[in-house]
Amino acid sequence: MKAALNGNRSPDEHPGVPVTPEQLAQAARGAVEAGADALHLHPRNAAGAESLDAGDVARALEAVREACPGVPVGLSSGWWILPDAEARLAAVRAWMAVPDFVSVNWHEDGAPDLAELLLERGIGVEAGLWTADAVRAFLRWRRHEEVLRVLVEMPDQPIRTYKAELKEMFALLDAAGLDRPVVLHGLGESAWPLLREAARRGLGARIGLEDTLLLPGDFDGATDNAELVRVAREMLE
């Protein structure tokens, strides 16, 4: 169970969205106490914008690791944070404190080069796969068997719109015989249905305020990341 603490959301969307290192540390501690085994976060700069800057990354990681010693902590490398592929590589090279893993979306420009750099720096790679074409591209990459895990991800859509795509993605992974852990997760409308599907398949799962602001079923708003993790953990068990 991985907790996705903030994503690209702002406190305007939900007051529980953590932004500062101190807020991230508090949210991380709550999520771990609720049952999270790993943490995924998006560091911010002083203005609150997502950042891959070495100083911003270090401050976020140090705060979260102090609050949750021994818990793996990962970051996003989404193109919207730093759209220029070369600048993204330069940012990763400059990191003083390094995360345990980084998610790399395989449909984004420069994904293989970024993954290669992360592996060279001893950082785990989560291959973010959103489409069947992304799965095919990932499996063509010569080092695909070296990733930490695979993230099978679906957008904020009703089940009927992605069911066939999801089936094809799993068929491709099964045919390849990839011996890597798989985490299945969605966003918005797909978050809870895919968490249930992850439980049915015996896969890893992800939840947090990055993925949804709502609890399942009654559509009440979640209090914080910890509540989302607690409910998800109960569903998985």
Burial class (CB in 10 A: 0-12, 13-18, 19+), 155: middle
Average pLDDT by consecutive 10-residue portion of the chain (237 residues)? 97 97 98 98 97 98 98 97 96 98 97 98 98 98 98 91 94 97 95 95 97 86 96 92
> What is the CATH class of 2-236?
alpha beta
Distances (CA, A) of 227 to 3, 39, 58, 192: 11, 15, 27, 14
At 160 the pLDDT is 87
Q: Cβ distance 41 to 83 under 8 Å?
A: no
Q: How far apart, in whole angstroms, are the C-alpha atoms of residue 115 and residue 113?
A: 5
Supply the pLDDT for residue 218: 65
Residue 157 token pair: 């859509």
Of the candidates 208, 102, 98, the one whose C-alpha atom is nearest the C-alpha of residue 149 is: 102
Domain boundaries, the chain: 2-236
Taking the C-alpha atoms of residue 17 and residue 172, their distance in angstroms, rounded to an integer, is 36
